[in-house]
Amino acid sequence: MPSQKSYKKIVVKIGSSLFAAGKNKLDMALVNNLAGQIAILVKQGKEVVVVSSGAIALGMSILKLTQRPKELRQLQAVAAIGQHELMHVYKLALARCGLNCAQVLLTWDDFSKKRYGNAKNTINTILKFKALPIINENDTVATEEIKFGDNDKLSALVAILLDADLLVILSDVDGLLDKNKQVIGVVGKINGQIKSLACSTNKKICVGGMITKLEAARMVIAAGIPCVIANGSKFGIINAVVASPFKSGTIFLPVKK
Ligand code: GLU
């Protein structure tokens, strides 16, 4: 387990529910706050990579859809309509903090041996330019995260690809909750009991929920990377997690490094 000072490379996953805030409407104050928090980390010399969903949520908002479409091709089209808006929103918020950003669209296939190096080199070079890579699934050609996941597994693959020091998964819940709805602070092993606590999320806007977050956590801790699930709607949460990972949300301890 690296000390918090050695959290140099941090992957932050931002879920769709944060963009829609349950009302199919963008919460710009929250996006500005997230951007400001990331800028603080960059100023501290850390390398931050964002994995963000929200293309479908913003596409729904542009098209004034109140229900998430059911057909896969419709979801892919809505994502294409929303993706540029997602980047526009990030661009505006980050520019206020003096940061540039880069759009990186990936599929699970891009983590195969052949393209692994290309993805890794490009993202690391974006970081060298002091810009913020913002990664989403390439929804036009891939459907894994649309069907089930909301980019949770993608964020784990990215953290492993980049050999990150920490994966922070931001959602609209405070962490993994026990049967009494209390946050479990530390998870050492993802066993059957832990898995039984996972429940689903707001399916009107996105898919995934705690099941895919636990799967993402399982993947990264097996690769020696700690993972924190925390509530992204709390202002200042990213900085709080990086400063004290045992005090905000649920931390999953790495198995080996
Ligand atoms: N790539 C999708 C998006 O950005 C994933 C989230 C989802 O399926 O709702 O919207």
Span 184-209, pLDDT tens digits: 999 999 999 998 888 644 444 444 58
- How much is the pTM? 0.92
| 137 CA: nearest ligand 1 atom | 1
pLDDT for 19 equals: 75
Read off the pLDDT of residues 229-256 as tens digits, 9 standing for 90 and up. 999 999 999 999 999 999 999 999 999 6
Question: Can you read off the two tokens belonging to residue 23?
Answer: 């009302």
Distance CA 256, CA 17 (A): 32
Q: What is the pLDDT of residue 198?
A: 84
How confident is the model at residue 1, as a pLDDT? 61
Ligand 1 pocket residue status of 14, Cβ below 6 Å? no
Q: Which CATH number fits domain 4-252: 3.40.50.2000, 3.40.1160.10, 3.40.50.1820, 3.10.110.10?
A: 3.40.1160.10
Give the pLDDT mean for 47-66: 93
Residue 196 Cα to chain centre, angstroms: 23
150 lines ligand 1 (CB under 6 A): yes
11: left (phi over 0), alpha (psi -120 to 50) or beta: beta
**Residue 37 CB less than 6 A away from ligand 1:** no
Chain segment 146-167, per-residue pLDDT in tens: 776 779 999 999 999 999 999 9
Ligand 1 near 34 CB (within 6 A): no
Query: Taking residues 49-73, what's their average pLDDT?
Result: 93
Average pLDDT (97-126) is 92
